């Protein structure tokens, strides 16, 4: 059935694209563009230099790189339509690189080596340094590796700001705009580390304690995967041409990954941080871990001390809480750019996401106030009650942090899942963005892509390629691009279509009674979904076509920003019906300003269940489409797991 559906979709896709092409030709020939930033990928009308001609017109500087691009069969690509970023090494840079690998000339390189060098320096999409900050470029290069941008001061040139790629290649000239992208000149050939993450950590100077603990606990072996050998491309056209679909008022293409990558993140304290806590040996670290985790898990105290490979051993818990089975670059854990500055009310909440760790039954909170990126912080901005641990930015680290299958982030203090974290920091409403429920959303590069001014595209997923998700191949699942004007928390959502029956594992939260809530963006194109928690029905099916003003919900606009007695009465009446308004801490950005979700009658939160959740048990939410309409949709946006201490608080739950 999957292939029949897909063939029908692709026939429509080809027709649509043919019509689109014809219409664009007419627009180009007979009209003036309505956009100040025309997207060149839709037509072939170059009026200036392409990347190829830019390099060729400066062959005295780039002849070696031109030869490499030619051998790699990439030079012609860079002369055609599209949007690309090219980091162009100078002839001197190439010559230096060849000498370091024992080659006398480019002719001594194989075609495969030339292809690897070329693809390392090329990125789909035009990325200007003036629009970027510390962290990875939004899109991987053509070798499927992320390039990390950092800045520094040139002490030999009046501390002038300089930009570096992967900590070693300095941008001599940058942001040279061409008709099909942008060219940045680098003084060294960009290289990428080919070690697995655990081996990479072992080779970093100054992290011997963490590396020894990683090895002794056996967690080193958990970081050895890279490409899933069992992943199968079910339809090549889905990879190359995409699947045409709709979500709400938008019509888009979803492209499926060629490979399924397995990647990891290690948050690591350098030895110098341990020394500040009087930890100098592995035995010291074991004793420290025991002091923390015996208190957090008193029932396990003393039972597993002699077996560091046991998942309940204190050192094992210590190490594994530092590890995530997803790769997150510094700027990928939370929303950034317009979404953060214009859509998130930073005076009320920090941009925050939650992620399951590799320590069984634990979760991690990552937030980004203006002070930087923090793990397990409680508070808003500089007003915090628990500081948390700060993650150092790429500019604060002296080495390239990327391994073949993951990344290392340095911490400025010791990270633990202690009693304070469990009982104080995590005495909170967990707002779980749907895109964090599977590590594959990040490992595929799908999470965080934006539709603003780049060549990024929506990503589709087949059954079996999303950890923590269960569905069959008759179900369409795609992670949408982020956009500040969409009625979606953090600007994105997972689009689900078809007569679906899909289950999603909840991240583990501390033991307790919770309200389990689901966000709804009501619209006539939505479906009717029966929801189950651990296969127990959560009331009657949820009709996602019904807006908040319907009497069954009772939404009424605020009189005074939710502060008046009448506003509180409306909130109480809605809660009695099992609904909440959207939060007042996030909204969609429009040309006339921000519209908060609390002020949107279509942005709702419905209580699915009030139940006890255990951190030692896997809990699944199941969504089953009951409307007999394969076109009806379910944009899965976010969940809330709200503890009783908050939803049943005497002062009432905040509106954020």
User: What pLDDT score was predicted for residue 22?
Assistant: 38
For 321, list phi and psi in degrees, rounded to 5: -70, -15
Question: Which two structure tokens, joined as six digits, stand for 396?
Answer: 């604060």
Q: Is the pLDDT of residue 9 over 90?
A: no
Residue range 337-372, pLDDT digits in tens: 989 999 999 999 999 999 999 999 999 999 999 999
| Between 443 and 31, the higher pLDDT residue | 443
What average pLDDT does range 31-44 have in this prediction? 32
User: What pLDDT score was predicted for residue 182?
Assistant: 95
For residue 593, the SS3 value is strand
Residues above pLDDT 90, as percent of the chain: 82
Q: Is the pLDDT of residue 453 over 70?
A: no
Rounded Cα gap, residues 622 and 156, in angstroms: 60
Q: Is 299 left (phi over 0), alpha (psi -120 to 50) or beta?
A: alpha
Q: Is the pLDDT of residue 176 over 70?
A: yes
Closest CA to 639 of 478, 434, 428, 349: 434
User: What pLDDT score was predicted for residue 153?
Assistant: 75
Contact 594, 588 (CB under 8 A): yes
User: What pLDDT score was predicted for residue 44?
Assistant: 34
Contact 529, 546 (CB under 8 A): no
pLDDT-derived band at 155 (thresholds 50, 70, 90) equals low
Q: Is the pLDDT of residue 35 over 70?
A: no
What average pLDDT does range 25-44 have in this prediction? 32
For 450, list phi and psi in degrees, rounded to 5: -120, 150
Rg (CA), the chain: 26
Residues above pLDDT 70, as percent of the chain: 91
Question: Which two structure tokens, joined as six digits, stand for 610?
Answer: 């009030």
Q: Is the pLDDT of residue 11 over 70?
A: no
Q: Is the pLDDT of residue 60 over 50?
A: yes
Q: Is the pLDDT of residue 173 over 60?
A: yes
Question: Which two structure tokens, joined as six digits, stand for 32?
Answer: 């003036």
Residue range 14-33, pLDDT digits in tens: 334 443 333 333 333 333 33
pLDDT-derived band at 249 (thresholds 50, 70, 90) equals confident
pLDDT-derived band at 160 (thresholds 50, 70, 90) equals confident
Rounded Cα gap, residues 575 and 570, in angstroms: 9
pLDDT-derived band at 547 (thresholds 50, 70, 90) equals very high
Contact 275, 413 (CB under 8 A): no
Q: Is the pLDDT of residue 567 over 90?
A: yes
């Amino acid at each position: 059935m999957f292939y029949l559906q897909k063939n029908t979709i692709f026939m429509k896709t080809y027709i649509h694209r043919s019509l689109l092409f014809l219409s664009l030709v007419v627009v180009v020939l007979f009209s003036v563009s309505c956009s100040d930033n025309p997207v060149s990928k839709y037509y072939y009308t170059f009026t200036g230099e392409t990347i190829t001609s830019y390099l060729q017109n400066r062959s005295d500087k780039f002849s070696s790189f031109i030869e490499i691009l030619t051998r790699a069969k990439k030079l012609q690509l860079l002369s055609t339509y599209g949007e690309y970023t090219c980091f162009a090494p100078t002839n001197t840079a190439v010559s230096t690189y060849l000498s370091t690998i024992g080659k006398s000339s480019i002719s001594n390189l194989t075609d495969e080596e030339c292809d690897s060098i070329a693809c390392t320096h090329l990125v789909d999409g035009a990325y200007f340094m003036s629009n970027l900050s510390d962290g990875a470029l939004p899109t991987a290069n053509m070798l499927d590796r992320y390039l990390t941008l950092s800045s520094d001061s040139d002490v030999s040139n009046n501390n002038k700001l300089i930009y570096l790629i992967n900590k070693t290649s300095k941008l001599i000239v940058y942001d040279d705009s061409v008709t099909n992208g942008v060219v940045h000149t680098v003084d060294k050939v960009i290289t990428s580390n080919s070690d697995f993450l655990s081996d990479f950590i072992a080779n970093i100077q100054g992290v011997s304690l963490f590396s020894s603990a990683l090895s002794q606990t056996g967690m080193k072996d958990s970081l050895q995967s890279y490409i899933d050998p069992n992943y199968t491309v079910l339809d090549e056209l889905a990879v190359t041409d995409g699947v045409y679909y709709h979500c709400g008022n938008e019509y888009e293409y979803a492209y499926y990954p060629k490979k399924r990558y397995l990647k990891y993140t290690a948050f690591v304290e350098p030895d110098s941080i341990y020394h500040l806590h009087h930890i100098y040996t592995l035995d010291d670290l074991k004793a420290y871990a025991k002091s923390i985790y015996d208190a957090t898990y008193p029932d396990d105290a003393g039972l597993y001390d002699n077996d560091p490979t046991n998942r309940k051993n204190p050192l094992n818990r210590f190490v594994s809480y530092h590890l995530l089975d997803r790769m997150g670059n510094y700027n990928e854990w939370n929303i950034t750019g317009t979404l953060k500055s214009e859509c998130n009310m930073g005076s009320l909440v920090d941009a925050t996401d939650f992620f399951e760790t590799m320590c069984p039954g634990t979760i991690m909170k990552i937030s980004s106030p203006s002070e930087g990126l923090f793990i397990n912080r409680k508070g808003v901005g500089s007003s915090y009650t628990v500081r948390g641990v700060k993650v150092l930015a790429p500019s604060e680290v002296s080495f390239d942090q990327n391994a073949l299958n993951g990344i290392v982030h340095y911490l400025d203090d010791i990270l633990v899942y202690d009693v304070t974290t469990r009982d104080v920091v995590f005495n909170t409403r967990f707002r779980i963005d749907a895109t964090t429920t599977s590590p594959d959303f990040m490992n595929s590069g799908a999470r965080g892509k934006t539709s603003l001014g780049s060549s990024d595209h929506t990503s589709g997923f087949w059954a079996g390629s999303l950890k923590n998700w269960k569905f069959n191949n008759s179900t369409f699942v795609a992670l949408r691009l982020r956009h500040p004007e969409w009625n979606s928390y953090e600007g994105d959502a997972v689009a689900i279509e078809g007569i679906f029956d899909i289950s999603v594992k909840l991240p583990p939260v501390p033991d307790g009674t919770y309200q389990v809530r689901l966000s709804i963006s009501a619209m006539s194109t939505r479906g009717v979904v029966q929801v189950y928690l651990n296969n127990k029905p959560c009331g009657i099916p949820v009709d996602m076509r019904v807006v908040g003003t319907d009497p069954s919900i009772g939404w009424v606009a605020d009189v005074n920003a939710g502060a008046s007695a009448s506003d509180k009465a409306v909130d109480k009446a809605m809660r009695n019906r099992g609904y909440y308004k959207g939060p007042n801490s996030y909204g969609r950005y429009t040309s006339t300003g921000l519209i908060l979700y609390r002020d949107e009658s279509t942005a709702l939160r419905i209580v699915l269940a009030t139940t006890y959740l255990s951190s030692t048990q896997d809990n699944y939410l199941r969504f089953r489409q009951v409307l007999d309409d394969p076109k009806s949709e379910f944009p899965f946006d976010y969940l809330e797991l709200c503890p009783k201490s908050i939803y049943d608080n005497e002062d009432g739950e905040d509106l954020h």
